[in-house]
Structure 1
């Protein structure tokens, strides 16, 4: 006990001691070995995120309603009033917290699988980007760890780029959960939020969109390399529409049309555009086992119906148990997740792109994603014969 108290005092004094190291000094009979302790912390870190995703919003809503019925109703009223005032913040860039993104718990989260982020090309801070993330998996563990935290060192690998992971807008209507998500730089996947990040927030922004969404989660299972993309063209249209070309000199800003921009040479010229970047996470589908119902069956029809109502697909899945790895539970399997960020696809700015133009760049994106998959698959656990199925 004296050792723990001394370590805690050292933390307060800033000497660098930690309670974790103090616990290691205890007799082995009183505390698990270091490797077992780290494994327990990794499981807890992942489990808290799963429970947060599944229950935090509903639990906090019920708690808020309950507090209204108690003598502490004034606290609930004050929070509700602030919630109303702050309602549009998620649509205006959110409220990112570097402190939350660098929590130690995310490093344990990363090491559980483990999750890795692979950079293949440099990204210019003078541009904005739309990352297309594939596949969805069940909980998008790779997307959250790489782009919602700094556990894999995104800011160091892509200096000057600020990622914003886009998720269901409904999550930002739930008390407390909305603030928790915004602190990680997570934003609603709706037009207003993405417009703000790409058009009104300067350059160096990367909006991460899980293109396949809920529909793709219904196809995820270990060993499956399948993405829902053929009819998902909205993100391509958005990339063509977003961005602005402007020249600055002195105290005024001159906006230039896309037709004469190539003819103007000026040392003050800056180009804001939103390039497309394919991203593929190897292993995202392997962390849970899912019962996949065939198309046309009653249960698949129920899943699709609930997907339209709720915004997400209710999947029948399982991982390992909390205490026994060979039992069933909601703890994901320890399978490596490797997220590879591909080469940017430069797109022109077209305010009203035609369907032919959208199809052209959509086809380019699909080819780029398939090329990224084929070049990387044998490095990250797949066979040369494995192919990417695009639905």
Structure 2
């Protein structure tokens, strides 16, 4: 019985992220539009005012919340695949880092689980390290969903904005970039790994600029 229950929890944990990834943005966009024509119109107006005042936050490193990253449901997502975090080197917190992630996959499950959640205890493996996951800026145009992504450690992948993030005086910052981009996600043949690097070397220039 416990094994059966565990399997269902893993499925729920995985589908929670899949459904959020695919539908959270459109659903909340339509909900805000719908509320404008109801007695609750003020809720939509207040959120939209906040949304536009907060427009540039993803470009400045986002707004990470440990509470969201610590949800126990992420451990179910981890166990479903399963996803592991194997530490092979120290990351001294007195420096800044640009890390390349591979493979991209369709939804970056491996990188997401290890970097954007504490399912595999990233912060315990690398104390003093503040990790940000660079994602497409268009995701932050979606109401509520953009805030959700930021709470997990998401920030804009625009290189000018990453320059701004890495130029901040504090140390221990890590920017994680899935260097193959969306093009790499198209290569999904089982048992094969395709690393797309031609015309995708901007992360090297970014790292060199910031030492």
* Shared fold, TM over 0.5: yes
Structure 1 residue 94: deviation in Å? 1.4
Q: Does 1:193 align with 2:161?
A: yes
Out of 172, 183, 195, which is 2:140 matched to? 172
2:15 aligns to what?
Answer: 47
Indicate the RMSD between aligned Cα atoms, in angstroms. Answer: 1.1
Q: Does 1:208 align with 2:208?
A: no
Greater RCO (CA < 8 Å, at least 6 residues apart): 2
Out of 71, 88, 100, which is 1:120 matched to? 88
TM-score when normalising by structure 2: 0.96
Q: How does 1:84-163 map to 2 (within 5 A)?
A: 84-163=52-131
Out of 10, 16, 26, which is 1:58 matched to? 26
Give the ranges of 4+ consecutive aligned residues of structure 1 lying more than 3 Å apart after TM superposition. none
1:75 aligns to what?
Answer: 43
Structure 1 residue 134: deviation in Å? 0.8
CA contact (8 A) 2:61 2:156 kept: no
User: Over residues 318-360 of structure 1, what are the superposed CA-to-partner deviations in whole Å (9 max), with x where a residue is unaligned?
Assistant: xxxxxxxxxxxxxxxxxxxxxxxxxxxxxxxxxxxxxxxxxxx
Aligned residues: 211
Gaps of 5+ in 2: none
1:225 aligns to what?
Answer: 193
The structure where strand makes up a greater share of residues is 1
Gaps of 5+ in 1: 1-32, 243-272, 274-391
The structure where helix makes up a greater share of residues is 2
CA distance in 2, matches of 1:36, 1:55: 28
Structure 1 residue 42: deviation in Å? 0.7
C-alpha distance 105-82 of structure 1, shift in aligned 2 (>3 A): same
**Other structure's SS at 1:237 match:** helix
Structure 1 residue 192: deviation in Å? 4.0
TM-score when normalising by structure 1: 0.53
